[in-house]
Amino acid sequence: MPNPHIPVITIDGPTASGKGTVAQKVAQHLGFHYLDSGALYRLTALSVMRRDIPLDDEHALAKAAEHLHCHFNGAHIFLANEDVSNDIRAEAVGNLASKIAAIPTVRQALFGLQLSFRQHPGLVADGRDMGTVIFPHAGLKVFLTASVEARAQRRYKQLIDKGFSANMEDLSKDLTERDARDSNRSSAPLKAAEGAYLLDTSAMTVDQAVAQVLGWYAASKPA
């Protein structure tokens, strides 16, 4: 059972809000472990796609999540022993991940795996329900967001840099639809956790956002 005294910072927010980049840099600065919970759903989606599991077979989807053989090595993400860091960033994988993330049995299957990332000396976890469901007693909770326009531009650059084709209009439409799906699902909907600091990064640099989170963390620690 993870030690409840190990510090946790949660950074939740919608797709392409920049939470992953900010969380990684905060973790690096503090020497903490890092959990990209969205990657777990993308890994599940990739596994489901490769095995042709139908979206209406909830039992099979949950089994795929429960038996997910993955590990993280810095910025590299492995499914079994295959580096799938780029594969899971494809838009088709992201869209499927959003759909299966709405299934309660899939979320439950990944619950224990996410808790296991809480290790010394601390953890920075990013996702959509880190502060509301997975680590509700985290010492610092942040809800990080940005306008759809800013997020579409960031997502466009990310995809182009990774060699994927992308269209700004399609990205904006997909982000809006994904926001609605994530916010309105019955199981662990996307929302700010109680007591979370709100951070809109639309007009902020990554370094500014990181500095703000680190400032909040320093202020949240016992004297």
**Mean pLDDT calculated for residue range 192-207:** 95
Tell me the pLDDT tens digit for each residue of 37-50: 999 999 999 999 99
- Per DSSP, helices labelled H in the chain are 19-30, 37-50, 58-66, 91-100, 104-115, 148-161, 168-184, 206-220
- Residue 83 above 80 pLDDT? yes
Determine whether the annotation assigns residue 186 to a binding site: no
Give the chain's mean pLDDT: 92
Confidence of residue 5 (pLDDT cuts 50, 70, 90): confident
With 90 as the cut, is the pLDDT of residue 28 above it?
yes
The CATH fold of domain 8-218: Rossmann fold (3.40.50)
Place 73 in a pLDDT band, splitting at 50, 70 and 90.
Answer: confident
pLDDT at 183: 87
Sheet harboring 8-12: ordered strands across?
Answer: 33-36, 123-127, 8-12, 140-145, 197-200
2 is in an annotated binding site: no
Q: Is 14 annotated as a binding residue?
A: yes
What does the pLDDT look like over 135-185, one tens digit per residue? 999 999 999 999 999 999 988 988 888 888 889 999 999 999 988 888 888
pLDDT at 223: 57
- What is the predicted pLDDT for the residue at 131? 96
Instruction: Give the percent of the chain with pLDDT over 90.
Output: 73
Is this prediction's pTM over 0.75?
yes
| 93: pLDDT strictly greater than 60 | yes
Least confident of 70-74, 123-127, 201-205: 70-74
19 marked as binding residue: yes
**13 marked as binding residue:** yes
What gap in Å lies between CA 116 and CA 34, rounded to an integer?
11
Give just the sign of the alpha carbon dihedral 159, 163, 164, 168: positive
Mean pLDDT of 25-48: 95
User: What confidence score (pLDDT) does residue 158 get?
Assistant: 84
Question: In the prediction, which pLDDT does 10 show?
Answer: 98
Which pairs with CB-CB distance under 8 Å and at least 24 residues apart come from 18-24?
A: 18/144, 18/146, 18/151, 18/154, 18/201, 18/206, 18/209, 19/126, 19/127, 19/144, 20/126, 21/206, 22/126, 22/144, 22/201, 22/206, 22/209, 22/210, 22/213, 23/124, 23/125, 23/126, 24/75, 24/124
All structural domains of the chain with their residue ranges: 8-218
16 is in an annotated binding site: yes
Question: What does the pLDDT read at residue 97?
Answer: 93
222: pLDDT strictly greater than 90 = no
